[in-house]
Amino acid sequence: MDKVQFGIIDTPSQMKKAYAGRRTFYRLYTGKEEVLHVWFDKLCREYKDSYPVLDRYDLNQIAKGYFEFWYSYREILLLMHQRGLSEIIYGEISRVSEDIVKTRMGCEREEGQEDMRFFAYYSVGGFILLLRHWIEGGMQERPEAYAQKVSTAILKYLCNDTYR
């Protein structure tokens, strides 16, 4: 019987190899894209559970945590980008975005649900595009430096009365 080797990534620095029969693999997954969807779903849940509720909305703190988290998976993000599979990353982050933002903001209650949904989509949409930009540039900047640059630029326009 043919054996299929596929990687299982539990931590950014660890790659375990698993061997399964081809039929077993395809009984569990329809293909590599499904494996990646399952793995990124796990990562998004890990991200959500890794950070405490914010005392206040601190853009630099949020950006720093977000980019540090994804930087720890730099190799696979860059590989997925090179192989044209980046949309899986952004799709999974988008899918869980509202839940992540509500949890971080401590707004899991029902009141103001639509307002929180708009804020979550606005916030996460921007962060997804910032992550995409960083990945497309090869993630050359350290996450702390990139987060500082991003938060400084955003706050420059949000806090400037000229644009209100």
User: Which residues make Cβ contacts (< 8 Å) with residue 153, sequence separation at least 6?
Assistant: none
User: What's the pLDDT at 3?
Assistant: 45
Predicted TM-score of the model (pTM)? 0.77
Instruction: Please name the residue that has the structure tokens 């930087």.
Output: 71
Q: 60-76 burial, b if ≥16 CB within 10 A, otherwise e? A: eebbbbbbebbbebeeb
Q: What is the pLDDT of residues 10-23, one digit of tens each?
A: 544 444 556 667 77
Return the DSSP state at 8. E
Average pLDDT across the chain, whole number: 81
User: What's the pLDDT at 18?
Assistant: 60
User: What's the pLDDT at 108?
Assistant: 62
Positions in the chain whose pLDDT score sits under 50: 1-6, 8-9, 11-15, 163-164
User: What's the pLDDT at 75?
Assistant: 95
CA 29 to chain centre: 22
C-alpha to C-alpha distances, 139 to 20, 56, 98, 129, 130, nearest whole angstrom: 33, 28, 25, 13, 11
Q: Cα separation of 145 and 139, whole Å?
A: 11
